[in-house]
Structure 1
Amino acid sequence: MSATDGKAAGAVAVVGGGWAGCAAAVELARRGRHVTLFEAARTLGGRARAIELDGRLLDNGQHILLGAYKDTLTLLKRVGVDPARAFLRLPLQMRYPAGSGGMDFVAPRLPAPWHMIVALVRAGGLAREDKLALARFSTAARWMGWRLDQDVSVSVLLERFGQTARLNRLMWHPLCLAALNTAPERASSNVFLAVLRDSLGAKRAASDMLVPRLELSALFPQAAARYLEAKGGTVHLGAKVDTLEHSAGGWQLQASGQALGGDWSGRFDAVVLATPAAQSGALLASFPETAGLAAQLGAFEYEPIATCYLQYDRGLRLPLPVCALLDDPEHERFGQFVFDRGQLDTDQGGLLAVVISAAGAAAEYRQDSLARAVAAQLDAAFPALGLGSPQWSRVITEKRATFACTPELARPANATPLPNLVLAGDYTAGDYPATLESAVRSGQAAASAILRGRASSRKNGSLSQGDGKHQAGSVQ
């Protein structure tokens, strides 16, 4: 079967339907380009989507956004999602179960910087030396513009600025794990500082925590698909792009899939490659101009995230919608945060989601063993609620959830040496770690590069060593 989408002027193929690919598709369609979106899976969303388990629709990982995620919030409004209804908005906080030996830090709804000053004064569970250390760190970080001249690990940063062991245990380490999904001993200080700049160091509204009420597929990808189709675009699910070829007339794509009726081909003026880094590298490996880029994309290290869902009686309610947990992997206490899904969605009463970031040690356990360990941890944290024996449990592990966000990590630009072919993904160059906001920003930057006619880092806009072709087993 042959497609002629690309014969129309301004036709763009977006390969990959995660948040970066969907963001690029929406921006291109908004600016009048004819967009065809290819996604190898049966659902959009990539590593932030809903999946069906035992008749339940659950997210493949629990997310928190910041009020500073302006590009994501603007994009949601553009595709018809109301952030005020889609999120539970909470003030910036780090709150542990009462009596668990943790801390209670909540930023009140006051103008900046008073919200942080008052939060620090009122913080429970911290000694005077802890509060002074936090104040010194925040002041120094602001003074140096939330960036080091030479990147180091987060552990070195905290030691350099005299942070106390208790403050590290209760605040900095769990924040680093949650934001970068990388252990403090190997996480980038500059990326961590960028996150702190837009949370602890931001205006009050920008520092707010936004917890999705909607499942992740409905939060953005499904709305993006509706928007794209309303603009005359096309979404192909279950469509695997096998081949990219370039010629003077543009880009030829070969794809396959039942939804396409078998083999499919189409010509496009430009391509946004929004697949995971390793898959994008595989597609670029055979082009002489991008051999080095392909090697860079294939060299990323990855960290897993596990989410343990536990169902209790529908009337169960935690004291807070989100609680931090004291983790201790050596004693099988893996959870770092627990979310009461019933306080986010009334249809999920009694469902708790426990997040384990940088979950390498936890991923070695059998699912049933890990779920029992998490239930025991919850039972110890909330002894009055009887959480040791859930009615149902399931663990979802994304083994390559994010790239390992290490110091001085080289992240590629959106532009490539190939004309009218750009990259989009949370791994591309930017201030943030692998977050929904960085994916959205990257997708929009990729679209802007094409719209400006500057999608290639080469000035002549043509391949200097002939056309290239690459066969790949799977593109998601």
Structure 2
Amino acid sequence: MSKSIAVIGAGWAGCAAAVELATAGHNITLYESSRTLGGRARAVDINGQLLDNGQHILLGAYSETLRMLQRVGVDADKALLRLPLQMRYPGNSDGMDFVAPRLPAPFHLIAALLRSKGLVGADKMALARFSSAARWMDWRLNTDCSVSELLQRFDQTERLIKLMWRPLCIAALNTPPERASAQIFLNVLRDSLGARRAASDMLIPRVDLSSLFPQQAAALIQQYGGAIKLGTTIKTIVRSGDGWRLTQDKAESEMYDAIVVATSASQAGSLLTDPAMAADIPAFEYEPITTCYLQYPSATKLDIPFYALNDDPEAQCWGQFVFDRGQLDATQSGLFAVVVSASTEAIALGHEALSAAIAKQLADALQMPHLATPEWRRVITEKRATFSCTPALQRPQEHTGLPGLVLAGDYLASDYPATLESAIRSGIKAAKLLNENLMSV
């Protein structure tokens, strides 16, 4: 039976939930307080170009994200650049060069390890030992600990930690290994390094993040008769009879049979005035992610689509990865995006000092002096990009115990950290729970 359902929040979780519910035959209204779809993974206007509020990499293991893209009509082969698993540093930067060939798993990793450059025998043995032990443990820990403790337990070399494990941990969990959850890190490795070869592929969006999924999701929802309300803030949610009453920022109210709260954890807590429910949403600590865009003459390019960088705060080297946007979108030739995850210390410098330091880091690492003086540079920081993914962190469930009300978001209980995949999975799970709940009424 068709029900009227409000989805509050048009991030990736909210859009996924709305798509599932609309295609199940329900009448959907998708509310978003901003004027742009996508939440914390969206497009922004920078110097007249639509760029992302943060450069993202997806993984081939993101099965639900890829399925959802297909469902809303996105051709992933065209919208995403698929690259084999790699950790490649610029030449002469005291880094490593690790590229997995397109061989069946696990031979692709064995071949990558044998062919890798910049690692000595002890480093390669440590990596092989870690991989074998993780598989033997079935990627599970009896008691969660920090990633640093896990790496010490398996005698990982200092160089391997610096060049591979630390950047992978920060990129995947947006939390430094000293306080990142080893179990969540192992989950990510299990579904990428420990799965079929394609699961470890790196997928880089060629289009902006709003265009990649949220806009396509909104179009599909409208095709099914749903409504999209941008620039509309929901102030209160109140149980009323057998339904729910939403009050908007202009004191207007609407009645719905059911609600999906797909906002951030803090916003969800402020909307849910029921004391028992509010107590179930913890006060998370958060980590920022910063992306520095630097525009150079259009002929400027990297040898490959992206490089890992040696970050060293003491040497004012903050960048961890640099992407050549021109190899993703021909209209962005000469535009580089440098990512600084877990960027609390970096953003304390201020935008001007940070962007200047990153430009100098690129010039030195790539041995291209002109990179120190870009035509323009812009720093974008998402201050609450993800929750801090610490060991044994208790995360709430989509189910609230309140009839016709579910949560959706990347902060909810999941095998994964706060990623696009965990957001999509949560949205799908929330929609399924709501469907089951409505059918039982």
For residue 89 of structure 2, what is the aligned residue in structure 1? 96
CA distance in 2, matches of 1:383, 1:316: 13
Measured after TM superposition, the shift of residue 9 of structure 1 is: 4.4
For residue 346 of structure 2, what is the aligned residue in structure 1? 362
Measured after TM superposition, the shift of residue 363 of structure 1 is: 1.1
For residue 271 of structure 1, what is the aligned residue in structure 2? 259
Matched, 1:382 2:366: yes
Measured after TM superposition, the shift of residue 208 of structure 1 is: 0.5
CA distance in 2, matches of 1:385, 1:19: 40
For residue 464 of structure 1, what is the aligned residue in structure 2? none
Measured after TM superposition, the shift of residue 368 of structure 1 is: 1.0
Three-state SS of the structure 2 residue aligned to 1:368 is helix
Pairwise mapping of residues 303-452 of structure 1 onto structure 2 (< 5 A)?
303-384=287-368, 386-452=370-436
Measured after TM superposition, the shift of residue 198 of structure 1 is: 1.7
Pairwise mapping of residues 32-43 of structure 1 onto structure 2 (< 5 A)?
32-43=25-36
Matched, 1:243 2:236: yes
Matched, 1:159 2:152: yes
Measured after TM superposition, the shift of residue 263 of structure 1 is: 3.7
For residue 66 of structure 1, what is the aligned residue in structure 2? 59
For residue 275 of structure 2, what is the aligned residue in structure 1? 288
The percentage of counterpart residues that share the same residue type is 60
Measured after TM superposition, the shift of residue 385 of structure 1 is: 5.7
CA distance in 2, matches of 1:221, 1:255: 22
Measured after TM superposition, the shift of residue 289 of structure 1 is: 3.0
CA distance in 1, matches of 2:317, 2:331: 28
Three-state SS of the structure 1 residue aligned to 2:125 is helix
Matched, 1:122 2:115: yes
Opposite residue 169 of structure 2, the aligned amino acid is C
Opposite residue 265 of structure 1, the aligned amino acid is S
Opposite residue 86 of structure 2, the aligned amino acid is Q
Q: Report how many residues are paired.
A: 441
Measured after TM superposition, the shift of residue 357 of structure 1 is: 0.2
CA distance in 2, matches of 1:427, 1:454: 25
| RMSD across aligned positions (CA) | 1.3
Match of 2:285 among 292, 295, 301: 301
Three-state SS of the structure 1 residue aligned to 2:168 is helix
Could you tell me which runs of 5 or more consecutive residues in structure 2 were left unpaired when the two chains were aligned: none
CA distance in 1, matches of 2:247, 2:68: 30
Runs of 4+ in 1 over 6 A off after TM superposition: none
| 1:166-208, Cα deviation, whole Å (9 max, x unpaired) | 0000000000000000000000000000111122212111110
Opposite residue 287 of structure 1, the aligned amino acid is D
| 1:289-330, Cα deviation, whole Å (9 max, x unpaired) | 314214x2xx10000000000000101110110100000011
Residues 95 and 10 (structure 1), Cα distance of their counterparts in 2 relative to 1, 3 Å cut: same
Opposite residue 277 of structure 1, the aligned amino acid is A
TM-score (norm. length: structure 1): 0.91
Three-state SS of the structure 2 residue aligned to 1:305 is strand
Three-state SS of the structure 2 residue aligned to 1:314 is coil
Opposite residue 15 of structure 2, the aligned amino acid is C
Opposite residue 37 of structure 1, the aligned amino acid is L
TM-score (norm. length: structure 2): 0.98
Bigger mean CA deviation after superposition, 215-224 or 196-205: 196-205
Matched, 1:53 2:46: yes
Measured after TM superposition, the shift of residue 266 of structure 1 is: 1.1
Contact 2:2 2:25 in 1 (8 A): no
CA distance in 2, matches of 1:355, 1:202: 27
Opposite residue 452 of structure 1, the aligned amino acid is E
CA distance in 1, matches of 2:427, 2:192: 23
Measured after TM superposition, the shift of residue 454 of structure 1 is: 7.3
Contact 2:6 2:260 in 1 (8 A): yes
Could you tell me which runs of 5 or more consecutive residues in structure 1 were left unpaired when the two chains were aligned: 1-7, 257-261, 462-476
| 1:195-229, Cα deviation, whole Å (9 max, x unpaired) | 11122212111110000000011000110110000
CA distance in 2, matches of 1:355, 1:384: 19
Residues 233 and 454 (structure 1), Cα distance of their counterparts in 2 relative to 1, 3 Å cut: closer
Three-state SS of the structure 1 residue aligned to 2:139 is coil
